[in-house]
Amino acid sequence: MPPRRSPRPPPSRTQRPLLGAACAAAAWCVVAFGRPVVGEATVSYLDRPTLPARRIDLPFLDTAEQDGVVFRIDAAVRRFPLSSSRLRVAPDECIESVAVNGVEVPHFGDLAAEKRCWPRTYTLDAGGDLRPGDNALRLVVTNKEGPHGIGVTPVLAPAHVLLAAALAWLSLRAALTPLLAAVPHAARLALPALGGLMIAGQLANARGAVSATDQPLVFLAAAAAAVWLLARALDRQRDRPLGRRPSRRWAAVSALLFAVASVKSLSTYEPVPRFLLTLLGTLAGGFAATPVFAALHRARRAPAAVAVAAVGAAAPLACDQFRLALWEWLVAPTTHAVAAVVSATGTAAATGFGTKTGDDGRVWDYHGYVTSPGFSVQIGSWCGGFEGMALFLFLLSAFVLYDWRLFSSRVRRLWVPFAAALPYMFAVNVLRISAIFLYALLVAGEVGHEAARNAAVESFHSNAGWVVYAVAFGPYLWAVYRWAGRSGGGRPGR
């Protein structure tokens, strides 16, 4: 039987900075040389053959107001041996054809207009057509009216982004090793930090090509915080903490799940699968630093803590997925309540309702209208305060888990503060909308209706939601602690 090999000793204090610097340099090389380079470019107008071609810088924009422009961009592209073959093209207005080294991209004209026309960007993956060395790129673009132009940006391949994120994470871990060892439970956040770097890298590499409503980093932050707080609560469940037992298998599973989640952030809008991937990756990252069976045993004995963590982790997803369904039920009471508050100030207010539908008959939103002699407001689902509600529920879950020894004494009635938060948040949102309406009504007589609307919506409404809910959370949290303290400091429950 061969002798068992002893484990490799960890890097010394002098070796860690060198390893960190080497990983940081390698990550920089991947980002710098993992993309092709777009060089000189010229523009020529196919519908105006008398105009000579001229050199331009990319991105190119001609602000002259012209109608029916057809122009061609010829650009030199240099690819390194290990770089990607991807270019992100932002046209104004539509790309009609793409050719690399004289070979046109097949079936490009069959693409739907929303995939190759403004405001969408088109990602060209030239593959083997973009050879290492110098290449020629040709784009034909049409513009019906207004200014015209185009932007061509080289981007990394998803595999390059994952490699750069992993190297950057190794560099940060080497630099922060003393801090991770000194701060309790910090190791449980190490792999979620890798997931954050992967997702942030993919989003930064694909900026302009991802929906603005897609927020995978929010899902990851909520899941990571909920899992970390749950592990802390389970640690404090007994006098003896869970301890630490590193596992390379769970670390590999966590990294793989985060890599898949980051790549899916580039696909169509799929928040539920992405949330599940990030949640499972976060759990696997926790298991990579904690004894698995001991953690599962304590979780089985504290189902209420697990439920609270699930509420905190899923709050942003629930806000995103059930917004329209909830607003269908809330639009009428919210509109009537706002009108009642406005009327209580001595201003006459009337209500009305409408539904916004698409060409296919699909309901996009439900609207409530509050009108007065001097001003009117439209209340849609984005005014429902669902983001603030998600933040409210997440913070409530976080504080309950953080002080689990206190709240576990009232574990059978732990649903009370969460249930009471719903009417409380509804009242806060009604007061928030009423305040915006009254503010606009106050300034409408001085600056006019349109300026008052801009002042209320753009300057005040955009920031009022988070601020109002954050301020309203303080007194509610105080009441929850008073409610939990009535148990007389009972024994820590399960």
**What is the per-residue pLDDT for 455?**
63
Domain assignment of residue 30, yes or no: no
**What is the per-residue pLDDT for 494?**
43
277 plus 365 within the same structural domain: no
411 plus 284 within the same structural domain: no
Q: Which one of 114, 138, 155 terminates a domain?
A: 155
Domain assignment of residue 2, yes or no: no
**What is the per-residue pLDDT for 268?**
66
For 435-472, what is each residue's pLDDT tens digit? 888 877 777 766 666 666 666 666 555 556 667 888 89
- Across 26-45, b (16+ Cβ under 10 Å) vs e yields bbeebbeebbbebeebebeb
* Three-class secondary structure of residue 292 per DSSP: helix
Domain assignment of residue 114, yes or no: yes
Beta strand ranges found along 350-474 (DSSP E) = 350-357, 363-371, 376-379
Domain assignment of residue 48, yes or no: yes
210 plus 311 within the same structural domain: yes
42 plus 190 within the same structural domain: no
293 plus 380 within the same structural domain: no
**What is the per-residue pLDDT for 333?**
93
What pTM does this model have? 0.82
Helix crossing, 15-33 with 158-182: angle to 10°? Answer: 160
Give the number of domains in the chain: 3
359 plus 241 within the same structural domain: no
Cβ atoms 164, 138 nearer than 8 A? no
User: Structural domain of residue 214, as residue ranges?
Assistant: 184-318
Cβ atoms 158, 260 nearer than 8 A? no
**What CATH number corresponds to the domain at position 124?**
2.60.120.260
Domain assignment of residue 298, yes or no: yes
303 plus 356 within the same structural domain: no
**What is the per-residue pLDDT for 489?**
46
Domain assignment of residue 404, yes or no: yes
**What is the per-residue pLDDT for 282?**
93
Cβ atoms 199, 165 nearer than 8 A? no
Q: Which one of 287, 318, 349 terminates a domain?
A: 318
361 plus 472 within the same structural domain: yes
Question: Considering only CA atoms, which of 321, 326, 325, 338 is closest in space to residue 378?
Answer: 338
Q: Is the dihedral of CA 43, 48, 49, 51 positive or negative?
A: negative
For 420-445, what is each residue's pLDDT tens digit? 999 999 999 899 888 888 877 777 76
190 plus 125 within the same structural domain: no
Low-confidence ranges of the chain (pLDDT < 50): 1, 212-213, 488-494
